[in-house]
Structure 1
């Protein structure tokens, strides 16, 4: 699974890295310990003609020239809340979606064909089991920086708020995971599905809505090549943050 990751880059750096047209939503401080239910930056692409209320006030549907889609760096909450959910708390259990079943599960299948996202990350944490101990390990790529986790996002209308309330629509997301390769499997049996730069456009394309085409795209994702680094147990607590969390652990 992916339960904690690092996103310390500025919004302007993400706009450049993902060739985004604009940034919308709340800006966020860097974090070296992103945890479930946190608000983070994601990259989405929408057709320009979509009704404005479909993007819930997060920049959707504005006619601002150019091509027929617009790519944005937006803010969303980690933990997908399906549109049919009665309570947003369900999102805490929806932080990951399995690559093998994402097109089948009711919570994810609609978003998988209509609302795919890239989730920028400097790297992520896993805890390798060693006897009774769990060793915190930071995984990153010297070649692809930032990483782009395959994600899905959704809009959820809060039934307790009036239709015209500025917080009526919650934007949330999940990270797709896949089986870890032999090179990483000893650390954890799951790893985030990482989208290579040459597939960014295909993954984000809102016109790609056929289940078979999405499945082909999922199948086309290569195995990630990541570098593991044992780090301090300070990362074990979500209360700790700062660049020291990704430094090599002292012997």
Structure 2
């Protein structure tokens, strides 16, 4: 699974990285310890709608203008289906398995029409190891997994809009949420944990975001063709286990923490 990740790039960097047309909402602070239910930036492609708030085009000019627009938006991590009675369900839906994402009722509508990219610097997984004291117990050792070339990662995600029945009409009535699609881990990731996020290379991102791609069989073909990512990994300090701790020190290799603590 993917339960923690780092996303520290600014809106300006994300606009450049993902050819964003419009930025919607305030910038989210950089985080090296993104946890479930927190606010994150997501890249979506959709036709602007007046009732969702006007998007400010990244390159200037009026919002909208016809046709699909690639937007940078804020979503809450943990998908809430549109038919859910309680948004609290999102805390249990931070990941969607690639094997069933086009079939399960909670995800299939979003898989057909509401796909997104979740930008990340990398993500954390915990490796189970025998305790060093020989007690026979296990300890969990955190690792940071990132692109081998140091570049950004784009997780394949789904997003949904849930309307708060008690809120007045307008942008604030809609809760935007998202989930990370996961797959069977390979290479370095598989050594640490059996699941990993689906990482979309640049040449897959356009098809994934295309709002006109609504046939689930074709969506499945895109997912099945995604190659395993080339990831590097290193052990990090245990401080990342607390969502209250943040900062760039969390992604440093354990041996480089020095006086920063771990």
Q: Quick check: TM above 0.5?
A: yes
Which bin holds the TM-score, normalised by the shorter protein? over 0.9
Does structure 2 retain, via aligned residues, the 8 Å contact 1:181–1:223? Answer: yes
Does structure 2 retain, via aligned residues, the 8 Å contact 1:140–1:228? Answer: yes
- Distance in 1 (CA, whole Å) between partners of 2:150 and 2:176 is 27
Does structure 2 retain, via aligned residues, the 8 Å contact 1:99–1:177? Answer: yes
Q: CA deviation at 1:182?
A: 4.2
User: What is the CA RMSD across the aligned residues, in angstroms?
Assistant: 1.7
Does structure 1 retain, via aligned residues, the 8 Å contact 2:22–2:55? Answer: no
Alignment correspondent of 2:45:
45
Does structure 1 retain, via aligned residues, the 8 Å contact 2:55–2:63? Answer: no
Alignment correspondent of 2:6:
6
Alignment correspondent of 2:115:
116
Does structure 2 retain, via aligned residues, the 8 Å contact 1:128–1:135? Answer: yes
Which of 123, 148, 152 matches 1:142?
148
The SS at the match of 2:45 is strand
Q: What are the ranges of 5 or more consecutive residues in structure 2 without an aligned counterpart?
A: 57-61, 131-137, 257-262
**TM-score between both structures, scaled by the size of structure 2:** 0.89
Residues 23-102 of structure 1: matches in 2 within 5 Å? 23-48=23-48, 51-53=49-51, 56-57=52-53, 59=55, 64-65=64-65, 68-102=67-101
Does structure 2 retain, via aligned residues, the 8 Å contact 1:232–1:250? Answer: no
Does structure 1 retain, via aligned residues, the 8 Å contact 2:235–2:253? Answer: yes
Q: CA deviation at 1:68?
A: 2.4
Q: Does residue 225 in structure 1 map to residue 230 in structure 2?
A: yes
Q: What are the ranges of 5 or more consecutive residues in structure 1 without an aligned counterpart?
A: none
Does structure 1 retain, via aligned residues, the 8 Å contact 2:188–2:233? Answer: no
How many residue pairs are counted as aligned between the two chains? 244
Does structure 1 retain, via aligned residues, the 8 Å contact 2:54–2:63? Answer: no
The SS at the match of 1:184 is helix
Say which one has the larger Rg: 2
Alignment correspondent of 1:162:
168
- Distance in 1 (CA, whole Å) between partners of 2:72 and 2:118 is 10
* More helix by percentage: 2
Q: CA deviation at 1:28?
A: 1.0
Does structure 2 retain, via aligned residues, the 8 Å contact 1:58–1:74? Answer: no
The SS at the match of 1:45 is strand
**TM-score between both structures, scaled by the size of structure 1:** 0.93
Q: CA deviation at 1:85?
A: 0.5
- Distance in 1 (CA, whole Å) between partners of 2:17 and 2:78 is 24
- Distance in 1 (CA, whole Å) between partners of 2:39 and 2:172 is 14
